[in-house]
Amino acid sequence: MRFLEKIFQCITEQVLPTACIVCEHHQKATICNNCLQSLYDQGLFNYECCHQCGISLHASEIKEQHCGQCKKHSPYFDASYCLDRYEGVLQNAVHQLKYQKRLAYALGLATAWNAVFAQQLMDANAAYLLPVPLSPKKLALRGFNQSWEIARRIRCGPHIQKMPYTLKRQHFSGRQAGSKHADRMQAIQGMFYIEEGHLELLKDHSVIVFDDVMTSGATLNEIARVLKDNGVKRVTNWVLLRTSKPL
């Protein structure tokens, strides 16, 4: 399948013009060199960030590599790698993918991730990579899980197995955005579970969880809690865009 996708991609690159996912100028690559350079220059990965939750640190926090929030209430996950800020150059591309259902943007976003992070994260210590799931209802509405569409195209070490169906999500009818942090934490409890047949696979292993956008961190924290309750040793988040404050 990947082989066929690659052939198709090579043909379309030669025959059809494509547009950069950031500036939308027509050229050959899914993200142009100028926009990639902006990401290299300004991306969040350039900054001193909290090792655990990936948020950029205040000067006083840099020495310990941890933000005040993580020191006060340590999340269940152990580390986070975030490519860029939510407000950065990739925000519109993520919106196009999620809300306009422009699936081709997943390739451009994965290309940006690969250009910056693939080499650095190639030796990441993990057995599995799990995308944050959508509920069956949301999946039916959108038609695809944006986190998986990006995650399946990112390069990672051959020792890491990508598993799109391991994490499961129940449908949640309340509005998540805008509610208070404490409400959000409570509302999200019990939302995620692990596919029964995969429980044994995960035990005593390290796992990467991939998400397109990290806001308060409540979703990723709840996923890490469920994973660790089921014997996972270590949880690392790989995140495309990180908000500086909860949205």
What residues line the site for Zn ion (CB under 5 A)?
20, 22-23, 32, 35, 50, 52-53, 67, 70
Please, what is the minimum distance in Å from the beta carbon of residue 127 to Zn ion?
25
Q: How far is CA 151 from the centre of its chain?
A: 7
- Phi, psi (5° rounding) for residue 205? -105, 165
For Zn ion, give the closer residue by CB, 147 or 237: 237
The three-state secondary structure class of 16 is coil
The token pair that represents 69 in the structure block? 């929030």
Min separation Cβ 25 and Zn ion, Å:
6
3-state DSSP call for residue 110? helix
Contact 201, 120 (CB under 8 A): no
Q: Which residues lie below 8 Å from residue 162, measured CB to CB, with a gap of 6+? A: 128, 129, 131, 151, 152, 156
Least distance between Zn ion and beta carbon 37 (Å):
9
Task: Choose between 58 and 159: whose C-beta lies nearer to Zn ion.
Answer: 58
Identify which of residues 18 and 166 has a Cβ nearer to Zn ion in the complex.
18
Diameter over CA atoms, the chain: 55
| Amino acid letter, 142 | R
Smallest distance from the beta carbon of 19 to Zn ion, in angstroms? Answer: 8
How many Cβ atoms from other residues are within 10 Å of residue 48's Cβ? 13
Q: Residue type for 23, please?
A: C
Nearer residue to Zn ion within complex by CB, 49 or 227: 49
Least Å distance, CB 68 to Zn ion, is: 8
- Nearest-approach distance from CB 215 to Zn ion, in angstroms: 14
Nearer to Zn ion, 38 or 146 (CB): 38
Query: Of the two residues 50 and 208, which places its CB atom closer to Zn ion in the complex?
Result: 50
- From CA 238, how far away is CA 232, in angstroms rounded? 17
